[in-house]
């Protein structure tokens, strides 16, 4: 019987122990999503990468093992000590630097990172129109920023019935925090407003709903679920509304030259 966590769409992820993915999951399979995101990034040995909202550091470990990058694995809720143990066990303790950090108070020098990534976390803080400008301050000019988030394949003003009604397990898919789910068009416009980034790519994961559904079923069957499964709602939706959005861009010199000074802060075109 084929293991549902081994997918041809994610050949690098297929090398990883399915039980390791299940033991460390905190939502949709972050290793699959990181592999998809990495396709749009120029990762190579020696680069400094910030993994923002890394959870249990699966994405950090994946990047260190597959690309030889140095990863600062930042999360607010998961202990750095626990992530250190996981990185050491995976053989990349010398490349992964776990720390506790809040997304609006990052403890790094400006222009420190070559790449900044966020998987299944950016929607919680990145819908703020000011946030991308803040985050890219920590990115070198020319460096890349990329994120993957749960999103919408089409927008709506009223929640579709199958997402608002309880599933057979009693779980309702659509909770208030789901209003942070946006379409690819929304993210494209949102990031396009920032002159500090260029070379913008925004798209959706083919069959994203199916990958999410399959992972939900695998977690449910393993008995390792942290929350009741959303697989039933995803099976009804079949990608009509729910999927994953990827955004990748490159930092320009515009912010450093025109917008920000450590002495005066953000000018926003207003003198005085």
- On whether the CB atoms of residues 150 and 246 are closer than 8 A, the answer is no
CB crowding 144-181: b at 16 or more within 10 Å, else e: bbbbbbbbbbeeeeeebebbeeebeeeeebbeeeeeeb
- Contact (Cβ atoms closer than 8 angstroms) between residue 4 and residue 218: yes
At residue 264, does pLDDT exceed 50?
no
| Spatial distance between the Cα atoms of 61 and 93, rounded to a whole number of angstroms | 9
| CA proximity to 214, closest of 240, 184, 239 | 239
Nearest alpha carbon to residue 204 among 40, 43, 27: 40
Is residue 268 pLDDT above 70, yes or no? Answer: no
Work out the percent of the chain whose per-residue pLDDT is above 90: 90
Model confidence pLDDT, tens digit, residues 49-95: 999 999 999 999 999 999 999 999 999 999 999 999 999 999 999 99
**pLDDT bracket for residue 258 (50, 70, 90):** low
CATH number of 13-150+183-205+245-250: 3.40.50.150
Cα(first)–Cα(last) distance of the chain, in Å?
69
The position carrying tokens 């990172």 is 113
**pLDDT (0 to 100) of residue 3:** 87
Instruction: Return the residue matching tokens 């997918």.
Output: 7
For residue range 131-187, list pLDDT tens digits in order: 999 999 999 999 999 999 999 999 999 999 999 999 999 999 999 999 999 999 999
Sign of the CA dihedral running 223, 227, 232, 236: negative
User: Residue 149 to residues 35, 80, 91, 126: CA-CA distances in angstroms?
Assistant: 13, 23, 28, 10
- Would you say residue 36 has pLDDT above 90? yes
Dihedral sign computed on CA atoms, order 104, 149, 100, 51 = negative
Tokens of 269: 């075109």
Give the span between the Cα atoms of 266 and 134, in whole angstroms.
Answer: 10
CB-based contacts of 79: which residues, under 8 Å, 6+ apart?
Answer: 100
The pLDDT score that the predictor gives to residue 96 is 98
> To which residue do tokens 């926003």 refer?
268
Residue 253: predicted pLDDT: 81
Confidence tier at 4 by pLDDT (50, 70, 90): confident
Mean pLDDT on 197-209: 97
Torsion angle defined by CA atoms of residues 58, 64, 70 and 75, in that order, rounded to the nearest 10 degrees: 0
Token pair of 157 as six digits: 């003003």
Can you read off the two tokens belonging to residue 96?
């992964």
């Amino acid at each position: 019987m084929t293991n549902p966590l081994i997918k041809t769409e994610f050949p690098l992820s297929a090398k990883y122990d399915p039980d390791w993915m299940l033991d460390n999951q905190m939502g949709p399979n972050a290793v699959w999503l990181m592999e998809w995101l990495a396709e749009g990034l120029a990762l190579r040995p020696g680069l400094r990468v910030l993994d923002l909202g890394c959870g249990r550091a699966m994405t950090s470990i994946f990047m260190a093992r597959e690309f030889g990058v140095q990863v600062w694995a930042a999360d607010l809720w998961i202990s750095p000590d626990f992530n250190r143990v996981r990185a050491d066990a995976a053989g990349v303790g010398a490349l992964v630097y776990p720390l506790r950090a809040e997304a609006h108070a990052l403890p790094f020098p400006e222009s420190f990172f070559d790449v900044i990534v966020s998987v299944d976390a950016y929607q919680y803080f990145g819908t703020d129109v000011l946030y991308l400008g803040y985050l890219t301050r920590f990115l070198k000019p020319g460096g890349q920023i990329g994120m993957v988030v749960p999103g919408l394949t089409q927008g709506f003003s009223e929640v579709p019935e199958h997402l608002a009604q309880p599933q057979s397990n009693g779980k309702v898919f659509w909770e208030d925090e789901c209003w942070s789910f946006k379409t690819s068009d929304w993210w494209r416009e949102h990031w396009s407003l920032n002159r500090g980034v260029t070379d913008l790519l925004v798209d959706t994961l083919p069959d994203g709903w199916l990958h999410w559904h399959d992972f939900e079923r695998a977690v449910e069957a393993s008995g390792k679920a942290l929350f009741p499964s959303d697989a039933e709602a995803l099976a009804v939706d079949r990608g009509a509304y729910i999927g994953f959005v990827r955004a990748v861009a490159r930092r320009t010199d515009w912010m450093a030259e025109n917008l920000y000074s450590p002495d005066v802060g953000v000018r926003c075109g207003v003198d005085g």
